[in-house]
Chains A and B, each alone.
Chain A
């Protein structure tokens, strides 16, 4: 039985690695994606132009505008003569925000009253617009505080703001380690899912089913190349993240790789299950996409799981990637203790057992 299994694994490995183009597809896309993602995945906003309508000719407004000009987050300050011109600029997405300083700004400020300024923002990108609005608010608050300086006593309380684990709130540190799970996941889903589907399309899968191999052996034989490719990618990705991006692992490496192995097995189970339902590669590909896109987006990959509505939370909880991402962020940044990692490994292990068993059962049903 072991020799049978070994022979099948050798055959599967040969099938997976024979085509040089396919071999290249295990290496080039993940590396490209890693670098693309590392520099693209940021919710920070910088380098954006901001518009100003200054109806006031006093010194205070000029000082305020010069503060905007010096702000590093803004690439340039564009002056507009009227609200109409500013509106056209926002409509055409030339600027995301326009600050409007009214005629009596300097006068009101000098009179010791509280003037108001208007900020017009493009809500088509509400997250970025909010961030730009915060920048503007910070600059205005600082200007206002400096104006009041010397006329007031010390504040009674102050907010001392610290971020742990990632003091500069660096997006790269938070996002890049995640790729150690997401990139191998896509490759493994495709390698395993498409290989079974191709055999079904070409009719060789039936030959495999009528051979003395047990359904579980077929599952193992199909799973091993995927696991090898996936784990190899995990190792390479981890090395790149640690040495090229200089993001150190604060927790246990052994726990990280134990978790990654369980995670990959659960993903292989999903791929095998999809391929047991389909009859050709096109269907398999669509099935993989239908599972992969929600798995990526409902995992805390792009936005936090806690922002999802309650009825979607169970879906996030059975998604192996959700747990894997908590572990990766924990092991890389938060020095996550052993027992907390273990708490996240078992849901993935349950998923692995369920999907692999389901796939073996589906294959057995095809034989009968």
Chain B
């Protein structure tokens, strides 16, 4: 490579770039797995995620223990059974239900003790015991909340006609903007799209480039007059096209299968996704120049692109609740900007206050990643 420096310093040649793109495109088209990645995989994964991940507990399995049946307990049990949130299973003794709770077959147990009606009649406060399965904290919290709702309605119905003052009762009128139905799917689907795009963008690129190193075709390519920049453009363009096809499949699936509204414009969506894909491809390229085997490249891509995308992007977990160190790391995760922007474009509209900073950060990240790739691959050549 003694005369390589001269060539690499030369301006990028359009002819060479075209030839490289053609070579990459042919490689993509010949391997059916790439096409599966662009069209089948996104639809399949989005389908599974959209239906499979849900925080909306609609039928919680609750065991009800009535130690001493009376008209009072019967009216409470009826309120509970009438609620659309519960699937009530009844038992006379706790022990029968404790095993069920331990096996994870029910979410909680409600106990009306033997002296329930007696205390009510006496004018003492009668306790309703609610035991939830703390090994799933989110469902436990929801279950308690729903039981509380049923109990409040039941209690106010009992109080109806009796002398119970209602003064000072402050009612709350909650309005959920952008997602009035409160479907968790509405934010989980855009999050899943970002995960799929990250996987396609970085993992696929990482594999494609490290394969050239592993098979030795990289040396052959380096011996030609192709410059690093031309090589990168040649790799990026076909994969960008592949990624945009996958995005198209994702968006069509989310609109027509999941009824996600597209409140922003398509142009914004395409431009914003294009910028994010550049970042994802940049990560893939950088990873593959550092790790030269496909095994290592895929491990690294998982580690730097996929996992932070799951944990720190704000797609499943609230970043604000995390320790300070993780909040800082989340700021350098490209997926967190994409999730924010995509959620906004799909559910809220083209809001410049969200999209302009996010696009700026993503552009900056892609420039840094490509510069690092060029630098490290130069070092590798010399």
- Taking a contact as CB atoms under 8 Å apart, the answer to whether A21 and B172 are in contact is no
- Size category of the A interface is 35 or more
- Taking a contact as CB atoms under 8 Å apart, the answer to whether B33 and A29 are in contact is no
Give A14-42 as 1s and 0s: 1 = Cβ < 8 Å from B's Cβ atoms: 00000101100100010011001101111
- Taking a contact as CB atoms under 8 Å apart, the answer to whether A170 and B137 are in contact is yes
Which of A21, A117, A118, A173 gathers most chain B CB within 10 Å? Answer: A21
Q: B126 interface residue, CB < 8 Å from A?
A: yes
User: From A300, which residue of chain B is reached at the shortest CB distance?
Assistant: B136
Interface residues of A (CB under 8 A from B): 19, 21-22, 25, 29, 32-33, 36-37, 39-48, 75, 88, 90-93, 109, 112-131, 133-134, 136-137, 140-141, 143-144, 147-148, 151-152, 154-171, 173-174, 186, 190, 194, 198, 278, 280-283, 285-286, 289-290, 293-294, 297-298, 302-304, 306-309, 312, 316, 326, 329-330, 333-337, 340, 343
Given A32-B303, A123-B177 in contact, is the A48-B61 Cβ separation under 8 Å? no
- Taking a contact as CB atoms under 8 Å apart, the answer to whether A116 and B344 are in contact is no
- Taking a contact as CB atoms under 8 Å apart, the answer to whether A161 and B326 are in contact is no
- Sample (5) of A-B pairs whose CB atoms are under 8 Å apart: A43-B55, A48-B321, A157-B126, A170-B134, A330-B104
**How many chain B residues have a CB neighbour from A under 8 Å?**
114
Q: B353 interface residue, CB < 8 Å from A?
A: yes
- Residues in B with CB closer than 8 Å to A168 are 134
- Residues in A with CB closer than 8 Å to B130 are 159-162
Which of B53, B120, B308, B347 gathers most chain A CB within 10 Å? Answer: B53
B321 → chain A closest CB, angstroms: 5
- Residues in A with CB closer than 8 Å to B139 are 304
User: From B211, which residue of chain A is reached at the shortest CB distance?
Assistant: A282
- Taking a contact as CB atoms under 8 Å apart, the answer to whether A124 and B170 are in contact is no
Bound-complex Cα distance A165 to B139 (A): 14
- Taking a contact as CB atoms under 8 Å apart, the answer to whether B184 and A36 are in contact is no
- 13 more CB-based (< 8 A) A-B contacts, given A164-B101, A330-B135: A36-B312, A42-B317, A121-B177, A123-B176, A147-B168, A156-B158, A157-B126, A160-B127, A160-B128, A169-B137, A281-B298, A285-B207, A329-B136
- Taking a contact as CB atoms under 8 Å apart, the answer to whether A308 and B125 are in contact is no
Q: B131 interface residue, CB < 8 Å from A?
A: yes
- Residues in B with CB closer than 8 Å to A302 are 53, 316
- Taking a contact as CB atoms under 8 Å apart, the answer to whether A159 and B298 are in contact is no
B130 → chain A closest CB, angstroms: 5
- Residues in B with CB closer than 8 Å to A169 are 134, 137, 140-141
- Residues in B with CB closer than 8 Å to A88 are 353
- Taking a contact as CB atoms under 8 Å apart, the answer to whether B52 and A294 are in contact is yes
Closest 5 CB pairs of A and B: A123-B179, A166-B134, A163-B134, A92-B353, A123-B176
- Taking a contact as CB atoms under 8 Å apart, the answer to whether A93 and B340 are in contact is yes
- Residues in B with CB closer than 8 Å to A128 are 318
- Taking a contact as CB atoms under 8 Å apart, the answer to whether A155 and B179 are in contact is no
- Residues in A with CB closer than 8 Å to B171 are 114-117
Given A39-B322, A161-B144 in contact, is the A285-B354 Cβ separation under 8 Å? no
* One of A143, A157, A336 near B170 (C-beta < 8 A): A143
User: From A336, which residue of chain B is reached at the shortest CB distance?
Assistant: B102
- Residues in A with CB closer than 8 Å to B317 are 40-43
- Taking a contact as CB atoms under 8 Å apart, the answer to whether A91 and B296 are in contact is no
* One of A32, A42, A114 near B321 (C-beta < 8 A): A42
* One of A137, A170, A289, A298 near B52 (C-beta < 8 A): A298
Q: B36 interface residue, CB < 8 Å from A?
A: yes
- Residues in A with CB closer than 8 Å to B164 are 152
Bound-complex Cα distance A44 to B60 (A): 20
Given A40-B312, A112-B167, A159-B147 in contact, is the A304-B303 Cβ separation under 8 Å? no
Q: B56 interface residue, CB < 8 Å from A?
A: yes
- Taking a contact as CB atoms under 8 Å apart, the answer to whether B291 and A198 are in contact is no
- Taking a contact as CB atoms under 8 Å apart, the answer to whether B294 and A194 are in contact is yes
- Taking a contact as CB atoms under 8 Å apart, the answer to whether A43 and B211 are in contact is no
Bound-complex Cα distance A283 to B344 (A): 34
- Taking a contact as CB atoms under 8 Å apart, the answer to whether B320 and A45 are in contact is yes
- Residues in B with CB closer than 8 Å to A157 are 120, 125-128, 151, 155
